[in-house]
Amino acid sequence: MLKIWGRTNSINVQKVLWCCAELNLKYERVDAGMKFGVNNTPEYKAMNPNGLVPTINDDGFILWESHAIVRYLARKHGLGALCPADARACADADRWMDWYATTVWPHLQPVFWNLVRTAPEQRNMPLVESSAAKVAAAMAVLDARLAQRSYVTGETFTMGDIPLGCALVRWLNVPLAREPRPHIEAYYKRLQTRPAYQQCVNILPLT
Ligand SMILES: N[C@@H](CCC(=O)N[C@@H](CS)C(=O)NCC(=O)O)C(=O)O
């Protein structure tokens, strides 16, 4: 059976859990990371030398990197749906996953960590402000994209929506002033109609 290591409040673990739930995959999950430890043990590092979560073992195939895992599971169990079969449609989904990794999360991460996981007196508010401005600029791009379609690649939900859906629950729920982004807000509501999103990702309050 598929085995997943990672705590459920990790954004990178949530991508994998959401993907599995969309695909109706059964799995065994082991809590790992932060207060659970495990990820720094020699046994874990033999699987994932980065000592980060998530890691999966799919019948002996060990894989880490959340986007590689999502792509692998989507291609294996959801080709033609979660993983578009058409080369261009698949590249489009890949593009939005990469865009999240290069353009959104590097700036959203310090906002999230400071506002959610850091005591108020220890927060680096200048960093929050400069990072939030960069996330806001990226969100303008996403909002324009979603003005024309229901999901990032078109009218159907794909793996391209998974990292951004995980980012949005954080961006839209951190205590911060944001410009109204009606297409993103409609998209967030659309994602909330998916039981898998509600169960694995849209969990409030943020932790
Ligand atoms: N690029 C990696 C990043 C993995 C990562 O940074 N994981 C974080 C959690 S979101 C982690 O393991 N942090 C250490 C911990 O939880 O103890 C991926 O996408 O899987």
Predicted confidence (pLDDT) per residue in 81-104, tens digit: 999 999 999 999 999 999 999 999
* pLDDT at site 123: 98
DSSP string, 131-145: HHHHHHHHHHHHHHH
pLDDT digits (tens, 9 = 90+) for 150-184: 999 999 999 999 999 999 999 999 999 999 999 99
Distance 182 CA to ligand 1 centre (A): 31
Q: Which of 91, 66, 74 has the alpha carbon at shortest distance from 166? A: 66
* Residue 11 Cα to chain centre, angstroms: 5
pLDDT digits (tens, 9 = 90+) for 125-147: 999 999 999 999 999 999 999 99
Distance 94 CA to ligand 1 centre (A): 20
The H-or-E segment that residue 27 falls in is: strand 27-30
Return the percentage of the chain with pLDDT > 90, whole number: 100
Nearest CA to ligand 1 atom 6: 52
